[in-house]
């Protein structure tokens, strides 16, 4: 009976060790990215995960958008050849961002130490 108990403890320990390794590996593979949610002729919706020190590629928004912070934080929106705007997004709050000026690009940089997760609802056309 003692031997069976020891074997079970060793087996459970090995499984927990393996699971911890898997979770650590999965966390290290996480990257800043967009996850499409929904799109029609009026709106485009996606979820963005922005990890610290992993800025989004240069891009632009031709239409205004609403940001809904699922996991808030401090986001720096850095213009390619210009100033940086600092936005503090609180978890659970929504924020309005206008369309970008013509011929501009920007990147989004998570200025904190934890991931930021947002839902973006971008209007597809002006009403």
Pair 9, 39 in one domain: no
For residue 26, what pLDDT is reported?
Answer: 45
Contact, 35 vs 70, CB < 8 A? no
Predicted local distance difference test score (pLDDT) of residue 24: 46
Q: What is the rounded CA–CA span in Å between residue 96 and residue 78?
A: 17
Per-residue pLDDT at 3: 63
Q: Angle at Cα 8 formed by Cα 27 and Cα 1, nearest 5°?
A: 170
Position 101 scores a pLDDT of: 92
Instruction: Identify the domain containing residue 11 by its residue range.
Output: 1-30
Buried residues in 26-49 as b, exposed as e (16+ CB within 10 A)? eeeeeebeeeeeeeeeebbbbebb
26 and 43 in one domain?
Answer: no
- The pLDDT assigned to 9 comes to 47
45 and 7, same structural domain? Answer: no
Nearest-5° Cα angle at 113, 22 to 18: 10
Residues 64 and 25 in one domain: no
Q: Going residue by residue through the chain (127 aa), what tens digit of pLDDT does each one get?
A: 566 545 554 454 444 445 445 544 444 567 888 899 999 999 999 999 999 988 888 999 999 999 999 999 999 999 998 899 999 999 999 999 999 999 999 999 999 999 999 999 999 976 6
Same structural domain, 42 and 68? yes
CA dist 27 and 36 (Å) reads 21
- At residue 15, the pLDDT reads 47
């Amino acid at each position: 009976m003692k031997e069976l108990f020891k074997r079970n403890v060793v087996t459970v320990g090995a499984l927990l060790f393996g699971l911890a390794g898997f979770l650590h590996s999965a966390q290290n593979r996480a990257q800043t990215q967009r996850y499409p949610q929904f799109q029609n002729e009026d709106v485009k919706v996606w979820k963005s995960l922005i990890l610290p020190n992993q800025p989004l590629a240069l891009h632009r928004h031709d239409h205004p958008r609403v940001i809904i912070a699922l996991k808030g934080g401090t986001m720096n929106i850095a213009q390619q050849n210009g100033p940086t705007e600092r936005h503090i997004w609180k978890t659970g709050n929504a924020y309005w961002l206008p369309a970008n000026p013509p011929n501009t690009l920007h990147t989004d940089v998570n200025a904190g130490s934890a991931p930021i997760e947002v839902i973006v609802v971008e209007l597809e056309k002006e009403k």
